[in-house]
Each structure stands twice: as structure tokens, then as C-alpha cells.
Chains A and B, each alone.
Chain A
Amino acid sequence: MRISEWFESRTGLGSAIAKALDEPVPGGARWQYVFGSVLSFLFMQQVVLGILLAFYYSPSASQAWASTAYLNDQVTAGWFLRGLHHHGSSAMVVVVVLHLLQVVWAGAYRAPREVNWWTGLAMGGLVLAFALTGYLLPWDQKGFWATQVATGIMGSVPGGEPLQQVIQGGPEYGNLTITRFFALHVFVLPIALGGLLFAHIALFRKHGVTPPAKLSDAELKRTTQPFWPNQLFIDVLGMTICAAGLIWLTYQTHGAELFAPADPASNFVARPEWYFLFLYQLLKYFEGPLQIVATMLLPGAVAVTLFALPWIDRATSRRASARWPALSVIGLLMAGVTALTALAIVEDARNESYQHGLVVAEEEAHRARTLALEGVPPEGGIAVFDNDPKEKTRKLFKEHCATCHTIEGRGGEEAPSFDDYGSREWLFALLRDPRSKRFYGGTKAHTTMEPVAVKDASDEELHAVVEYMLSLSGPEVGTTDATLAATGKTLWDSKLECSGCHEVEAGKSGTGPTLAGRGTVAWIGRVIRNSAEPDIYGDTAEMPKFADKLSPAQIEALAAFIGSQREAKKTAAH
């Protein structure tokens, strides 16, 4: 006995497959029948790709982004498999719509196929639920913020809040949100879709294809072809075209986008995936108490209409010309969805702040993903920014300096604040009120400098003095107005009593700090090392010497960080 015969006699697999393939197609194999097969193929491909992604993906609020960035940017072919899975969901939505339109056009929702129509609608809903749950899983800015909107809508409808909390696993997003979305996305939804698909195909086999209405029974019978191989060949061609399109799209876009890790403190420009844009646009027209029209009533009405389509259609013939009311309902619906989607796209294209937000988001994504190549600290996604040398310096500042000094709005008031440190405004305010908490007010020893009162120097005159002081610092702190600086020098030398304490030339030292090179990175570095140098604060120095506590590189980084505050506001204002 040959092995194949032995296997067949023990399992009956061959005859089972033969039976499954043995399906007459009245009227012959046709292209318009491919959509269901293409959807089955896409679903299977999504399952395979999803399982592959699960080999690297870690569903927790602290690890999801880092593991996704790792699988996308470091694992061999990871970007390709993730890209196929991402675009595969778009492809499923497109083919679901095509399938629905074909079914409506052919009148296949009519008796006796109502239950098949309903299982199809339910599966369409599941495809959207897949998209919604999958969008959050990378835990990046886009998924996080767009999904917040979706669950927020859920919570805003009457009685929806408990449901929202159950789905989120609490009042806000966290580990429980991601484990729930993960369980739904990889277990509940695939099992539900698989079960419905089985019922859908069984019902399809029971009732057969819905051939063109114009063919007579005799004509249908005469042109009947077998499913295998005639229809299946066309189906597989359809799948191939779909797969080729997906591969092309995946290469073109270099896989799926991955934005910076979810940051609950940021203001990200959230948009849903393109196939939800019509709902997003609809929401713009209904505000306040009317919001429920866009979130529940209209979508609910559409769902009920689709469900009731077999009864809305009262025509006695299946010919399209006899069914214009039902076809118009679907036509209007599609036109509405298309128009709303187009409006959303056009409005975003013209929305400058959105476009700017996108550019910022992409830059941040690039920065985060580059830093992630060094490994993400286990605390979680946004901790990836700790890899940035700037962040390391910030931490260093927090550990060693922030007890006394403020920077970026945080820190102690025992010593001068570094917010806007070295800017014209900072110097001006210092001269007017050195004993302010912002400057030396919190120190014990720096009490000797007298404020420059308005009667001694008008605002205009003091600005000139500031310009002169900046010119002493040298070109590193920026270009200065020479004329204004010259006026300032005259005031400095004659009217004001600055030179009594402050020398202006390098190498000399007075009671107060010498002003040559003051505020430059090198000068700040010297202060950090030892502020008691005679040309800096001398005997009045209170600050600890850091020369032995920090490495030269650390001191240089801190000095550059403090020196950059002059420019910080300018950059932030952009």
C-alpha cells in the first residue's frame, strides 16, 4: 500500500478536501466572487503575522513601545512583517467594503441568505474592532491618543462609563488597558471572527453563489463550472494581486509608522486611522449635548439600516433595476462616508498647526527610535529619552545642583535661578534687584552688591550697561550692539560705581567677579569647579567645589547646559 493510500484510509483527509472543493458555480467562475476568498486569505495572513509579532512584542505599559521599536528597528525583517500586518488591516477594511458592495449589487442579502448577510455584517464590525484594539498596542503617541478619543466617546454616551472603565481596566490608561486590548486583539476577536467565518462559509455553501440576475436557470445550468479549479484559480489570482499591493505598500512606506513612546503629559495631534476619519469628521458637526448624534445615533442608524436591508428591499425581482431603493440607501451611505473622509483629509491638509504638529511628532519619533537603539531603560517607553546626553546632564543637575539652583522652572531658591540665565533680561533684572530670590536673595554671603535704582540709571541706561557687560563676555554669548555698549561703558566708568568692585579685564580680581568672559561655558565650568577663585567670588563663595566630585566631562556638560539657557526660550518659542 502506498503511503498516501494508507494515510487516506486512516484519516479520510483527501476525500474531505475533495468534498470541500466540490462546489458547483452556476453561471461559471467570475471575478466578482473573489472578495470573500481574498478576505479569508487576508485574515489567515493577519493571524500568521500576528503570531510572529507576538514572538517579540511585550504587552505592558512599560515594555510595549520598547519591544515594538526593537522588533521594528532591530530584528531582521521585523519592519516588513509588522508593516504587512499594519497595512493588512487597511486591506481588510477595503476588501470588506468591496465585498459588501458586491453582495448589495448582486442582491445576495435577500432571502434565503439573510443570516449570511448578518454574519457578514458582524464580521465587518469585528474587523473594525481589530483595528481599534491593535492601534493601541505599540503604545506610541498616535495609538495612545487616538484610542483615548475612542474610549472617551464610549464613556460620554449615557451608561457608557462603566463599559469604558471595564475596557480600560480602570479610570485611566495603564498596564491593565494594554493587557485587555491585547487579550481582545489576539484571543477574543480572532476566535469570534473564526467562528463567524465558519458559519458564514457553511451558509454560503448551503445557498451557493448569487449569480447575475439576468441569466436564466437554463443558462446558469449550462455554464456551471466547478469551484476547483476554475473559481479557486481566479480567487488565488485575486489574493496574489492583493498580496502584491500589500508588499508594494509595505516597501513604499518602509513598514508601519511608529511614533515616540506614549507620553500622557504631551499634546499630540491625535488622528484615527484613515478608515475612521469619517466618524472623526462627523464629530466636528455635533457639539455639546448633540455629540451623541455623531457618536451613537447616526452610526447606530446605519447599523440598523444595514441589518434591516433584507426587509427594506421589497422588490420582487433580484435585478438591480428593480431594487433601486435599497441600492440608493447603500449608495448614499457610501457617498456620505467618502465625502466625510475627503473633508477630513482636506481640512487636515490645510490645517497648519496640525501639519506643524506632524513634523514635530515625526522628529520626536526619529529621536526616540534612534535613542532606543542603545536599549530602553526598564522604567518604560518615555524613559528612552534618558539615553539622550542632554537628559543625562539634566539628571546630573537634579542630583548635584537643583537643591539650590532652579533650571527649567524646577529646583531650590538658595542660589541664583538659571532660567533664562545670561540673557539680557536676566542681567537687567539682576542689576535692578540682586537680592531678589531669583538671584542672590537666598544666599547668605552675597549681600554686598547694591541694587541699581531707577534714579541712578534709567531703563534705557541700564540696557546700555547690560549691552556693555555682554560685550565683555565675548562673542560666545552673541553679537552685541557696539554703540550701545560704548554708552554702557561710559555709564559703567563714570556714573555708576560698578568698577569699585568688578574688574573687567581677564587676570585681574576685585571684590566681585571679574566680568571678562563672564557667562561663557568655560567661565561657568570654572565656577562649578571652584567658585572661590579670586577673580570669581573669592571669600564670599558659598557653593561647594565640584572639581573633585564630578568628572571634567560632567562639569563641561553641566556648564554647556546652563550656558544654553540663554537660547532655551528662543528655541521653545519657535
Chain B
Amino acid sequence: MSHKRDLPEEDAHAMPAEDLSPEAASRRKLLKLGVGALGCGLAAVPIVPALGYLVHPLRSGPGAEGALLAVGKREAFGATPVRVDLYSDRRDAWNRESNVKLGSCWVVERDGALQALSTSCPHLGCAVDFDAAENKFKCPCHRSAFDLEGKVEAGPSPRPMDTLDLEETNGLVAIRFQRFRQGVPAKEPV
């Protein structure tokens, strides 16, 4: 074979006896330290900025209080809970969306006044439903049940259903949509 001279001889692959002098040993140590230090530096180039980059969504903090959103005329609501969807403009990361569904709530009249209860269960956020037969709100996920005022009657919910700001002006009902922390006894906006 004409290219035989390119093939390394077998013993060329064997390492020569290591230079055991103290100078050589300290030089090797220095090189190893150098590899470690530079290697860490190289890893830091993407990793350090990545930390700020990945947690960026947390920097905006809790969302600003939303506007009152019109949901309908006063006559549309009574002692039987009515579920309404809340629409508004919204920023979602890079998108600016207009008139999209933010969520929904139950509107029910108690002692002549309207009350808005978020459909989001305070336990773990499932959508609370109204059981007309038992005249109760019931969460389909973990069996929490609430009376028409939102008080817990059964199940694991740590607090009553969350009330939302509601205003009546000139016969029109408007509600401020908000989300609250789940799974805790206190009602804290997120």
C-alpha cells in the first residue's frame, strides 16, 4: 500500500515516560488550572446573561389594576347566578390583542345588590360551576362547594370564592377582572 508511510507506527501511540521533574509537574498543574479557569469563563458567556434572560417575565411584577369592563344591563341579573365573560384589550408578551376573553365570573343578586364572584376556584384554579338543583356553586375538580355568597360549604378551598369589583352606572353593570393567588387563605392579587 503506497500510503503506508502515513500510518503511525504502533509505538507512536504509546505515551513516553512522564517527565517527573518538579518543574514539569508544576507546569502541568498550571495548564490544568488554566483549562479549568478558561473553561468556566467560556461557560459563563452564555450562562450569566441567560439568568436575567430567563427570569425576564418576572420583572414586570403584578399586573396593573384592570379597567372596569361592561358586562350587561342591570335587568339581566337576578337571584339566580348568571355567568358572564369579560372581554378587554390585553398585552400578551409580544402581542397586543384587542377585545379578547380574559376570563369569566358569576353575577348574582344578594339583598338587592349585585355581587361578582370569580369562576376561578381559590383552591387550584378550576372553573367553579353553578349547580341549579342544589343552588350551590361547585368546583368540578376537588369537590369544593360554595353558597350563593361564595362562602365555603365543603371541600378543600382555603377561602371563599373571590369577589370582583362591580359597579352600576346608568343601569349598566361593569366588573373589574382580577386573578388571585391560589391555595392560600388570604385573597392576594397576582
Task: Find out whether the CB atom of B42 lies under 8 angstroms from the CB atom of A63.
Answer: no
Task: Find out whether the CB atom of A376 lies under 8 angstroms from the CB atom of B95.
Answer: yes
Beta-carbon contacts under 8 Å, A204-238 to B: 207-208, 210, 217, 220-222, 224, 226, 228-230, 232-233, 236-237
Question: Is B97 part of the contact surface with A, judged by Cβ < 8 Å?
Answer: yes
Question: Is A557 part of the contact surface with B, judged by Cβ < 8 Å?
Answer: no
Inter-chain CB contacts under 8 Å: number: 134
A18-50 interface mask toward B, CB cutoff 8 Å, 1 = contact, 0 = none? 000010101000000000000001000100110
Pick from B12-20, B115-123, B132-140, B168-176 the stretch touching chain A: B12-20
**Residues of A contacting B16 in the complex (Cβ-Cβ under 8 angstroms):** 221-222, 224
**Residues of B contacting A243 in the complex (Cβ-Cβ under 8 angstroms):** 42, 45
Task: Find out whether the CB atom of B31 lies under 8 angstroms from the CB atom of A230.
Answer: yes
Task: Find out whether the CB atom of B42 lies under 8 angstroms from the CB atom of A239.
Answer: yes
Kindly provide the distance from the CB of A227 to the nearest chain B CB, expressed in whole angstroms: 10
| Complex Cα spacing A220 to B16, Å | 10
Known: A77-B52, A208-B8. A67 touches B3 (CB 8 A): no
Pick from B53-61, B69-77, B80-88, B148-156 the stretch touching chain A: B53-61
Task: Find out whether the CB atom of A77 lies under 8 angstroms from the CB atom of B49.
Answer: yes
Task: Find out whether the CB atom of A81 lies under 8 angstroms from the CB atom of B35.
Answer: no
**Residues of B contacting A236 in the complex (Cβ-Cβ under 8 angstroms):** 34-35, 38-39, 42
- The CB with the most chain B CB atoms within 10 A, among A111, A236, A387, is that of A236
Kindly provide the distance from the CB of A431 to the nearest chain B CB, expressed in whole angstroms: 45
**Residues of B contacting A224 in the complex (Cβ-Cβ under 8 angstroms):** 12, 15-16
Task: Find out whether the CB atom of B41 lies under 8 angstroms from the CB atom of A217.
Answer: no
Chain B facing A: main interface SS: helix
Pick from A68-76, A441-449, A491-499 the stretch touching chain B: A68-76
Beta-carbon contacts under 8 Å, A339-376 to B: 372, 374-376
Interface size class of B (residues with CB under 8 A): 35 or more
Task: Find out whether the CB atom of A233 lies under 8 angstroms from the CB atom of B45.
Answer: no
Question: Is B126 part of the contact surface with A, judged by Cβ < 8 Å?
Answer: no
Task: Find out whether the CB atom of A66 lies under 8 angstroms from the CB atom of B45.
Answer: no
Q: Which of A81, A111, A222, A232 contacts B53 (CB 8 A)?
A: A81
Total A residues in contact with B, Cβ cutoff 8 Å: 58
Beta-carbon contacts under 8 Å, A249-264 to B: none
Q: Which of A55, A76, A232, A247 contacts B52 (CB 8 A)?
A: A76
- The CB with the most chain A CB atoms within 10 A, among B39, B47, B52, B94, is that of B94
Q: Nearest B residue to A383 by beta-carbon distance?
A: B96
**Residues of A contacting B54 in the complex (Cβ-Cβ under 8 angstroms):** 52, 55
Question: Is A112 part of the contact surface with B, judged by Cβ < 8 Å?
Answer: yes
Question: Is B111 part of the contact surface with A, judged by Cβ < 8 Å?
Answer: no
Question: Is A377 part of the contact surface with B, judged by Cβ < 8 Å?
Answer: yes
Task: Find out whether the CB atom of A229 lies under 8 angstroms from the CB atom of B8.
Answer: no
Kindly provide the distance from the CB of B151 to the nearest chain A CB, expressed in whole angstroms: 40
Task: Find out whether the CB atom of B96 lies under 8 angstroms from the CB atom of A377.
Answer: yes
Beta-carbon contacts under 8 Å, B1-44 to A: 1-3, 5-9, 11-16, 28, 31-32, 34-35, 38-39, 41-42
| Complex Cα spacing A78 to B95, Å | 17
**Residues of B contacting A571 in the complex (Cβ-Cβ under 8 angstroms):** none
| Complex Cα spacing A230 to B41, Å | 19
**Residues of B contacting A41 in the complex (Cβ-Cβ under 8 angstroms):** 42
- The CB with the most chain A CB atoms within 10 A, among B6, B41, B98, is that of B6
B84-124 interface mask toward A, CB cutoff 8 Å, 1 = contact, 0 = none? 00000001111111100000000000000000000000000
Q: Which residues of A contact B (CB under 8 A)?
A: 22, 24, 26, 41, 45, 48-49, 52, 55-56, 58, 63, 66-67, 69-70, 74-78, 80-81, 84, 107, 110-112, 207-208, 210, 217, 220-222, 224, 226, 228-230, 232-233, 236-237, 239-240, 243, 247, 316-318, 372, 374-378, 387
Q: Which residues of B contact A (CB under 8 A)?
A: 1-3, 5-9, 11-16, 28, 31-32, 34-35, 38-39, 41-42, 45-47, 49-50, 52-56, 59, 91-98
User: Which 9 pairs of residues, A with B, have the shortest CB-CB distance?
Assistant: A375-B96, A70-B94, A77-B49, A111-B3, A229-B31, A76-B52, A66-B94, A233-B31, A229-B32
Could you give 29 example pairs across A and B, Cβ below 8 Å? Answer: A22-B15, A24-B12, A41-B42, A45-B45, A48-B47, A52-B50, A74-B94, A75-B53, A76-B59, A77-B49, A77-B50, A84-B46, A111-B3, A111-B6, A208-B12, A221-B11, A229-B32, A236-B35, A236-B38, A236-B42, A239-B42, A240-B41, A240-B42, A372-B94, A375-B92, A375-B96, A376-B95, A376-B96, A378-B95
Q: A230-B31, A240-B42, A375-B91 are in contact. List 8 more A-B contacts (CB 8 A).
A: A55-B53, A55-B54, A78-B56, A112-B7, A208-B12, A217-B9, A229-B32, A377-B96
